[in-house]
Amino acid sequence: MAVEVGSIVEGKITGVKKFGAFVALPGGQTGMVHISEVSNEYIQELSDVLSEGQTVKVKVMSISPEGKIALSIKRTEPRPPRPQRADTGRTWQPRTQSQPQGEMSFEDMMSQFKSRSEEKISDLRRVTEARRGGGYSRRGH
């Protein structure tokens, strides 16, 4: 009986290494379960979780042209639910201004925008000049 990609079969562990476990499959074939495919939890030592002679249910993930069979134990079980983030009930809201926009005329809003822009540009120039060493007027002296 040849195993097919996607099928779930039972096998017996024939060897446990640091990187994974070898599993004897029906039909005399052998596949390997990489340590990352054993559990959804972190595993430090595979030998703490699996042992030789243990029967396991595995899913056939792939079969290479050379005949190497990649197996997974964790994909035979339903995926654990992801922890939900706590809903704080907060939603994004724009910054409040000193004066509600409904009471401002278009000209007032443009004037306020222009003054804020000029402040930001002057702050940016000040920082840029400080990084350059104080501006162009000091160079060459």
**Which tens digits make up the pLDDT trace of 70-117?**
999 999 987 777 777 666 666 666 665 555 556 778 888 888 889 899
User: Which among 75, 85, 65 is positioned nearest to 7, based on CA atoms?
Assistant: 75
Give the torsion sign (CA, 4, 8, 11, 13). Answer: positive
Hey, where are the domains in the chain? 8-76, 101-132
- pLDDT interval class at 53 (50, 70, 90): very high
Give the torsion sign (CA, 56, 59, 61, 67). Answer: positive
Chain centre to alpha carbon of residue 51: 31
| Residue 60 φ/ψ region, left for φ over 0, alpha for ψ in the -120 to 50 degree band, beta for the rest | beta
Q: Is the pTM of this model over 0.85?
A: no
Q: Would you identify the CATH topology of the domain 8-76?
A: OB fold (Dihydrolipoamide Acetyltransferase, E2P) (2.40.50)
